[in-house]
């Protein structure tokens, strides 16, 4: 599982970038990521094989 650090603040892109804290929280709720450290710049362990549909849903604005 690769480790990803969340950005401090969302950049308001459309679709959201993969390091956005909102995307990582959504992936955690779906079961494809796990939060390793708490806080604004939390670190996450993300599965290598996240389905494309799940990533699209997580990144939509």
Tens digits of per-residue pLDDT, 22-46? 999 999 999 999 999 998 889 999 9
Domain-wise residue ranges, the chain: 3-59
Among 11, 10, 50, which residue's Cα sits nearest to residue 33? 50
DSSP-assigned letters across all residues of 13-42: -SSPPTT-HHHHHHHHHHTSEEE-S-STT-
pLDDT at site 9: 86
- Cis peptide leading into 15, omega within 30 of 0? yes
> Does residue 49 or residue 1 have the better pLDDT?
49
């Amino acid at each position: 599982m690769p480790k990803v650090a969340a950005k401090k603040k969302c950049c308001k892109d459309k679709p959201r970038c993969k390091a956005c804290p909102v995307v990582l929280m959504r992936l955690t709720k779906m079961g494809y990521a796990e939060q390793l450290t708490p806080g604004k710049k939390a670190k996450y362990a993300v599965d290598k094989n996240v389905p494309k549909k799940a990533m699209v849903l997580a990144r939509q604005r």
